[in-house]
A = this chain, B = another copy of it.
Amino acid sequence: MTDTGGLARTPQPPYTAVIFTSTRTEADDQGYEAMSAAMAELAAQQPGYLGMESAREDVGITVSYWTDENAALAWKDVAAHLVAQRRGRASWYSAYQVRVATVGRDYGWTAPTPHDR
């Protein structure tokens, strides 16, 4: 599924959101950016993937969207395996939190464009 201007396009609720928040260590990149890109690419190939949104300032937030909780939990195992294969959480993160949530309602708004396609 594609994105519009960085926002994930998700279907009518219910669907599942995995909220991954983290703080980084002071360490150099150590392959983090490559892992992060590989992770996004791999997620998009998983069954039940709906989309992903990501931003980092003091805190990093990645929200991935899935058709249901089973798809989200299957992805969690794949992601954990990928991190384990690489340098691992200890060198990248000072802390992280994963929250698996069921989206029950959503709404949004997009600015009208001069030449709407």
Contact = CB atoms under 8 A, between A and B. Distances in A.
Contacts of A22: 7
Interface size on A, as a range, is 35 or more
Given A7-B97, A109-B93, A61 B69 contact: no
Per assembly, the copies of the chain total 2
Interface stretch (A32-40, A41-49, A51-59): A51-59
B59 A57 contact: no
Contacts of A110: 94-95
A99 B106 contact: yes
B90 A6 contact: no
Interface string A81-110: 000000001100111111111111111111
